[in-house]
Copies of this chain bind each other. A is one copy, B any other.
Amino acid sequence: MQDNIMTGLLNIKYPIIQAPMAGGVTTSELVAEVSNSGGLGMIGAGYMTPKQMREQIREIKQLTANPFGINLFVPNEFGATEEEVRDANDILNPIREQLNIQSKDNLELPEYNRVVETFIEQIEVILEEKVPVCSFTFGIPSTEVIDKIKQHNIILIGTATTVREAVEIEKTGMDMVVVQGSEAGGHRGNFIYGHQESLIGLMSLIPQVVDHVTIPVIAAGGIMDGRGFMASICLGAAGVQMGTAFLTCIESGAPNVHKEAILQADEDETVLTRAFSGKWARGINNKFISEIQHKEESLPDFPVQNTLTQEIRKASLTQNNPDFMSLWSGQSPRLAKNQTVGKLMKNIISEAEKIKNKI
């Protein structure tokens, strides 16, 4: 693998980032193993408390001497009227019944001010613990926050879904940009454009972004092996960020029922949905998505809907039932394998070398 600007800046061997999947997937073993294998392991800290973050950061430092990173959700303004919450609960209550859990009528809903406070506390932990790399999704933090992180020599990575979003990220002085294609699993990272306009396939998106920014572009979405890795490099990306490929690895904290759903899925079985969290995300189609689809556009914003569905997702998992949990996956589930991170990394690099010699 020749040197490139991305591996130089991140001080890693291979330009491969493990996507910071939130919600328990990025165990310390997963993150450390990716970094130990020459890639960049990332903590998906979007839903974590500052305390949880600090504990995991310290744990990972025990498991690897190599750089690793962390990802935060930039708070987006949101609001939900009592009526919206009641309507959403009216849809969710029959599903709660199916899972034998109590109907919730007076849940503690998130408040924007509190979300912002937590974000600031999360940033403090990153600075104090000197995490080498910090990436953001769902937007761009304030200039104040960016400048503060840069003063600590932490590498900053933004997430974009269109050319203009990438250009805005470069303007803030961030060091790199992850460019998320429509193939990607999990939450969509669009923050300037609407949902439909920002669904652009990587084959189109990467070269158009590369022509308009000077910072390294990291391709994300549907990349699973040496083929996708080399294709991304040909399109002009400096490297890749891979989610689903790491999610089904042995070291990942995703529940087995989630891993199995991906391992058994075909490429046409993923859908985009707001049903779980209030933000569009791609996952394997299931009963929950189908039952809520007709109301999809009118559900409360993220993270309100996410809070409303929390108990349902938890019960579905406890009952080992894939029908009512989020089964995030990109569009390449046929390429997923249940293997160790070390094996996955080795396969990517050796396949990439083979392709180089062949073309």
> Any chain B CB within 8 A of the CB of A330?
yes
User: Within 8 Å CB of A267, what residues of B?
Assistant: 162-163, 200, 204-205, 208
The 6 A-B residue pairs with the shortest CB-CB distance, nearest first, are: A201-B201, A204-B222, A204-B331, A183-B201, A231-B231, A230-B234
Cβ contact of A196, chosen from B164, B193, B205, B271, cutoff 8 A: B271
Cβ contact of A359, chosen from B181, B200, B234, cutoff 8 A: B234
| Copies assembled | 2
> Any chain B CB within 8 A of the CB of A232?
yes
Cβ contact of A233, chosen from B200, B208, B334, B359, cutoff 8 A: B359
A182 CA to B199 CA in the complex, in Å?
Answer: 9
User: Within 8 Å CB of A230, what residues of B?
Assistant: 231, 234, 359
A207 B227 Cβ-Cβ under 8 A: yes
User: Looking at chain A's contact residues, is the secondary structure mostly helix, strand, loop, or mixed?
Assistant: loop
B183 A204 Cβ-Cβ under 8 A: yes
A313 CA to B164 CA in the complex, in Å?
Answer: 32
* Residues of A bordering B, CB below 8 Å: 2, 162-164, 181-183, 193, 196-208, 211, 219, 221-225, 227-228, 230-236, 266-269, 271, 330-332, 334-335, 355-356, 359
Chain B residue at minimal CB-CB distance from A196: B271
B200 A202 Cβ-Cβ under 8 A: no
User: Within 8 Å CB of A271, what residues of B?
Assistant: 196
Chain B residue at minimal CB-CB distance from A271: B196
A227 B222 Cβ-Cβ under 8 A: no
A162 B235 Cβ-Cβ under 8 A: no
User: Within 8 Å CB of A219, what residues of B?
Assistant: 203
A334 B208 Cβ-Cβ under 8 A: yes
